[in-house]
Chain A
C-alpha cells in the first residue's frame, strides 16, 4: 500500500516539475555540507539558478552584518567571480576574505539608487558565467524578485539578496511574498564558550523561513570558517541564557 502511494507521489512530483518548466534542466544545488541542513532543502542544497533571500534578525535587520557573511560564505563556496551590488559601501572586504571569498573574486558594483542595484543584479544574473550575484537591498517587490528569478533560471547563476532596512521596524516588510526560492533569517547568538576568557567562534541562528517545496526549519550554526563553511552546533539546552532566550521568543 505504502509502496503504491509513494509511486503516486513520485509521479505527481514529476508532473509538477514538468509544469514548472524545470524538467529539462538538471537540478543543480550547492550543498551546505551539513547533512541536517541539506536534507531540509529540496535537491539537497541551495538551488543554482534561483534567488535566495537572506535577512538579519534583531539589530541585524539594519546592519545585516551576519546575513552578509552568511551570503559571503555561500558565494565563497560557489565557483567563479562574484558580482556584489550595493548602495551603501560599508562592507569591509577583509571580513569577506575571512569568510573564504578571495578579494580577486569579488567585483563590487556601487549604485546610487536601489533600482540600479536591481538592474545590475538582473544583468549579472543573465550574463551567465558568474559564480554568484549578491545584492544588498531594502525593498524587493514581487515583480522585481520575479524578474531576478527568471534571469537566474535562464543561466543557472546563484542569486543572493541580502535584505537590510533603514529601521528595525521596517523589517516587517520581510513577511511580504516574493518569488525567491528560499528565505533565510540569520541572527547572532552568543559565541561558542571557551575555557578561557575571550570570544569564541561566532554562532548564528539560521531560520529557513520559506522554501519552495520544503518545510521551514531552524538551525543553530557556527559562523563561516575560512572556507565559507558553516557547521551545526549541538543544541545547548542546558545553558541559562539560551533557555530564557527561547522562552522569550515563544511568548
Chain B
C-alpha cells in the first residue's frame, strides 16, 4: 500500500461507526479522530478503512511495554490504551541521562515505524498529561517543575471519568491551574474523592507506585518482612538469600540471568529498583550477590523496606560445561566476572582491535571486552608513538621541501632543534571512505630533539603538489 494514501481505523460503539485513528495523509486532507465514518468516506472517495481491533492493540502495546522492560527500565507498565509508563529512576544513567533516554526511545520507535511522544517528570500523572497534550516529541520536566509544566493544560488530561470532566467544564473550569486553585472540599462533595486524588497524584502529593508488567516466563522471587528493614548489612543478607532462591529457580529451567532487577518496596508505598547486567548468562549466586550488593549504597530505604523482589528480566539458556580437567592444560582465567563488576559501576570497558588502515586514527577500533580473541596484530613495522593526540596540532617548523624532515619544531610554545629524524612515511588518503581524501597525502617523520624527546610530526601534502594538502606541519604523537 502506498504511504501517501489516506488510511483510517474505524471503531464501533453501538451502531455508531467513527474514526478512532487517522494517519498523516488522512489528517492532511482533513480527517480527524472522532469523525463519523460516513462523513470521512464523503470527504475522500476511495478511503482505506480498517476495523479497529482493541484486543490486538492492547496485546501489541503490552509487547512494546515488555520490550521497554528489557531495554530501558525495571519498572514498566501499560498506561491506558495508548501508552506505557516507566520508572526511569536509577535507569537513566545507563543511557546517558533522561534526555538521551527518551530521545533514544522515540528514535527507536520511529525506526520501527511508530510515532511516539515521551516525557520525563516527577510524577506519573504529569508525564501522562504532557505526552498526550504537548506537541513536542520529547519533554523533560526538571525536578520540582511539575506545577509549572501542567498549570496550563486542559483538565481532560487528568485521567478522570468523562462525566466528571463534563461537569467541571459546566462549572467553567478548563485548565489544571484553575482546578487546583479551587477549594477541594466542595469539589469532592460534588464529584467524589477522585478529583482530589488525581490532582494530588499529578503534583506528587501522594505516591502512585507503578505496578510493573510481568509475564509468566519471568523468573521472580520475593520476600516480605514483618518489620521494615533499613541497614545495609540486613539488605545485603536478604539479597544473598533472594539470589540463592533465584538461582535455584533458574537451574530448574536451565537458564542463566543476563539482566536482573532488584525492586524495593518501601513502607511509604514508593519503590526503587537497581539493575545488574551481565555479559554472559550466569546463575552463580556469589557473582550475582556481589553485583547487587555493589549497588547497596544507591538504595535509599527512607522509613524502611517492607518487601524485596528479585526478577531475572532477561534470561538465556545456560548449559553446564565441563571445566578443564587435564593437569597439563593451561588454566585460562575467565575475566568476565571482573568485567561485569566494573561495567555495572558505569566504567567503559573495551579492547582495541587492529583495523587494516594506514591512517593512524583509523587503525584502532574498540570492541567488546568479552569478544573472542582475534589474534590479529598491527602489521605496521614503523614505530608508533605511545601517545596519540586526539587531533593533530599545528606546529611551526623550518624544513626543506619536498622531502626533508624539519630542522626546527615549535610546539606548545617550546622551540626544539631537531638533531635526528626518520622518514618520510607516506600515508595516502582513503578515498573509498571520504571522496575528499582522493588526493590527500600525509608525510610522517619521527624527529628527535637535543634532549632526546621523540615526536611524530607530519606534513599535509607531498611537498610538491598543493592539491595533496596544505603543506602545513602537524604534530600527531609523542614517542616514549
**What residues of chain B lie closer than 8 Å to A165, measured between beta carbons?**
none
Q: Which residue of the partner chain A has the closest CB to B373?
A: A104
B338 touches A124 (CB 8 A): yes
**What residues of chain B lie closer than 8 Å to A63, measured between beta carbons?**
387, 478
A191 part of interface (Cβ distance < 8 Å): yes
A92 touches B387 (CB 8 A): yes
A92 touches B385 (CB 8 A): yes
A103 touches B377 (CB 8 A): yes
Using A104-B375, A108-B352, A123-B341 as known contacts, say yes or no to A81 and B335 having CB atoms under 8 A apart.
yes
Q: How many residues in A have their beta carbons less than 8 Å from beta carbons of B?
A: 56
Interface size on B, as a range, is: 35 or more
- 1/0 per position for B314-330, CB-CB distance to A under 8 A? 00000000000000000
Q: Which of B377-405 contact A (CB under 8 A)?
A: 377-378, 380, 383-390
Q: Which of A155-197 contact B (CB under 8 A)?
A: 186, 188-191, 197
Q: With contacts defined as CB atoms under 8 Å apart, how many contacts are there between chain A and chain B in the complex?
A: 161
- 1/0 per position for A85-112, CB-CB distance to B under 8 A? 0000011111111110011101111110
B370 to chain A, nearest CB (A): 9
Using A107-B369, A108-B350, A109-B349 as known contacts, say yes or no to A59 and B453 having CB atoms under 8 A apart.
yes
Q: Which residue of the partner chain B has the closest CB to A98?
A: B384
Using A94-B363, A104-B375, A108-B352 as known contacts, say yes or no to A120 and B347 having CB atoms under 8 A apart.
yes
Contacting residue for B385 out of A70, A95, A107, A129, CB 8 A: A95
Contacting residue for A65 out of B338, B353, B387, CB 8 A: B387
A107 touches B349 (CB 8 A): yes
B421 part of interface (Cβ distance < 8 Å): yes
B386 touches A91 (CB 8 A): yes
A198 part of interface (Cβ distance < 8 Å): yes
The interface-forming segment of B37-45, B253-261, B263-271, B444-452 is B444-452
Q: Which of B337-376 contact A (CB under 8 A)?
A: 337-339, 341-342, 345-354, 360, 363-364, 369, 373-376
**What residues of chain A lie closer than 8 Å to B84, measured between beta carbons?**
none
Q: Which residue of the partner chain B has the closest CB to A201?
A: B383
A138 part of interface (Cβ distance < 8 Å): no
A80 touches B352 (CB 8 A): no
B378 touches A199 (CB 8 A): no
Q: Which residue of the partner chain B has the closest CB to A130?
A: B335
Spell out A's residues near B (CB within 8 Å): 58-60, 63-70, 72, 80-81, 83, 90-99, 102-104, 106-111, 116, 119-120, 123-124, 127, 129-130, 186, 188-191, 197-200, 202-204, 223, 241
